[in-house]
């Protein structure tokens, strides 16, 4: 016997409810570490060690942890270094990657095909493979360590392949050639066509690339730790290392520093989140 419409509707409603419950459970599991960091950032070291899951310290909220974090890690300087490195890296990455992707899509030059294939091949090479030779060359031979532009240059080199790949798929599937041909008929050159026609249409995928790279660069510890050996160039992840001692660590200040470090990234994500999923899907279709 076939099910009645009421039974079908009930089964559909039950499945939808189960999906919502599962999504809520996954969300709680995902957010639990972040909530734990936020809660413990307002507790003393003793309370963190003894009762890490307790919401409020017996001595009250320890806002002093944030003051200590700002003072001891020199938050203003570290924030400025991170902002410069991440900001310049992402801006250059978006410009060069989108330009390269547009050139690869719209031309049949053999050099472009070879370059694009080389970029795709470079994506499978782990960073750890080139880490030591790269630092040895820039440090021992070129003496370019402890320069913020060196970090920007490396971020650009390691990120351009993936960003070009994503922009390539988006341009190929979402930007019609007719728009560019109409611009050329009106007398626009290649540069004007790209910056006035193509680049504004790339907003969804560029927003996606921007948030992914900002998250990656802002939280990066390994590469900056090898480039910056002087405290005046420390980014936020390196500055937090100030609270780690040889025999003990100040967990309250560490948690406060971590909270201050992730807050700007969360703000950027909230601004750009509506473009992230759409840009990833559109860029991956082709």
- Judge whether 53 lies within some domain: no
- Based on the fold, state whether residues 131 and 206 are members of the same structural domain: yes
- Based on the fold, state whether residues 33 and 73 are members of the same structural domain: no
Q: How confident is the chain (286 residues) per 10-residue block, as mean pLDDT?
A: 55 83 91 87 83 80 85 88 93 93 89 88 83 78 84 90 90 85 84 88 87 88 87 88 70 85 82 64 49
- Based on the fold, state whether residues 106 and 165 are members of the same structural domain: yes
- Based on the fold, state whether residues 24 and 86 are members of the same structural domain: no
Q: How many domains does the chain have?
A: 2
Residue 48 and residue 37: Cα distance in Å, rounded? Answer: 10
By the 10 Å C-beta count (0-12 exposed, 13-18 middle, 19+ buried), 115 is classed as middle
- Judge whether 280 lies within some domain: yes
Q: How many CB atoms lie within 10 A of CB 4?
A: 9
Tokens of 249: 């660590």
Nearest 5°: the CA angle 93, 99, 104 is 120
- Based on the fold, state whether residues 18 and 80 are members of the same structural domain: no
Q: b/e string for 248-279 if b means 16 or more Cβ within 10 A?
A: eebbbbbbbbbbbbbebbeebeeebeebbeeb
Tokens of 5: 């419409």
- Judge whether 274 lies within some domain: yes
Q: For residue 80, what pLDDT is reported?
A: 92
- Based on the fold, state whether residues 24 and 97 are members of the same structural domain: no
Q: For residue 286, what pLDDT is reported?
A: 46
- Based on the fold, state whether residues 116 and 35 are members of the same structural domain: no
Q: For residue 121, what pLDDT is reported?
A: 87
Stated length of the chain: 286
pTM, rounded to two decimals: 0.81
- Based on the fold, state whether residues 162 and 26 are members of the same structural domain: no
- Based on the fold, state whether residues 130 and 237 are members of the same structural domain: yes
Q: How many CB atoms lie within 10 A of CB 122?
A: 14
Sign of CA dihedral 50, 52, 53, 57: positive
- Based on the fold, state whether residues 96 and 237 are members of the same structural domain: yes
| Contacts with 250 (C-beta within 8 Å, 6 or more apart), sequence order | 45, 68, 243
- Based on the fold, state whether residues 179 and 112 are members of the same structural domain: yes
List the domain range (segments joined by +) for residue 138. Answer: 66-285
Q: Could you tell me how many helices (H) and strands (E) the chain has, helices first?
A: 14, 0
- Based on the fold, state whether residues 146 and 19 are members of the same structural domain: no
């Amino acid at each position: 016997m076939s099910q009645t419409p009421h039974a079908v509707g009930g089964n559909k409603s039950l499945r939808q409810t189960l999906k919502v419950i599962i999504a809520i459970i996954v969300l709680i599991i995902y957010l639990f570490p972040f909530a734990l960091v936020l809660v413990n950032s307002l507790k003393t070291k003793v309370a963190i060690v003894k009762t890490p899951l307790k919401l409020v310290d017996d001595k009250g909220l320890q806002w002093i942890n944030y003051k200590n974090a700002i003072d001891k890690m020199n938050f203003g300087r570290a924030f400025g270094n991170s902002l410069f490195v991440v900001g310049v890296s992402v801006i250059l990455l978006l410009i060069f990657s989108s330009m390269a992707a547009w050139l690869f899509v719209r031309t049949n030059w053999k050099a472009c095909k070879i370059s694009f294939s080389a970029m795709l091949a470079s994506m499978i090479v782990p960073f750890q493979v080139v880490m030591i030779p790269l630092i040895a060359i820039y440090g021992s031979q070129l003496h370019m360590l402890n320069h913020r532009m060196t970090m920007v240059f490396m971020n650009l080199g390691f990120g351009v392949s993936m960003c070009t790949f994503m922009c390539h798929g988006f341009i190929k599937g979402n930007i019609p050639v007719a728009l560019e041909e109409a611009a050329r008929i009106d007398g626009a050159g290649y540069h004007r066509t790209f910056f006035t026609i193509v680049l504004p249409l790339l907003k969804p995928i560029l927003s996606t690339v921007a948030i992914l790279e900002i998250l990656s660069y802002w939280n990066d510890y390994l590469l900056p730790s090898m480039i910056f050996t002087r405290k005046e160039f420390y980014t936020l992840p390196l500055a937090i290392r100030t609270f780690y001692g040889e025999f003990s660590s100040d967990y309250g200040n560490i948690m406060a520093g971590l909270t201050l470090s992730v807050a700007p990234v969360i703000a950027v994500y909230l601004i750009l989140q509506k473009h992230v999923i759409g840009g990833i899907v559109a860029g991956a279709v082709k």
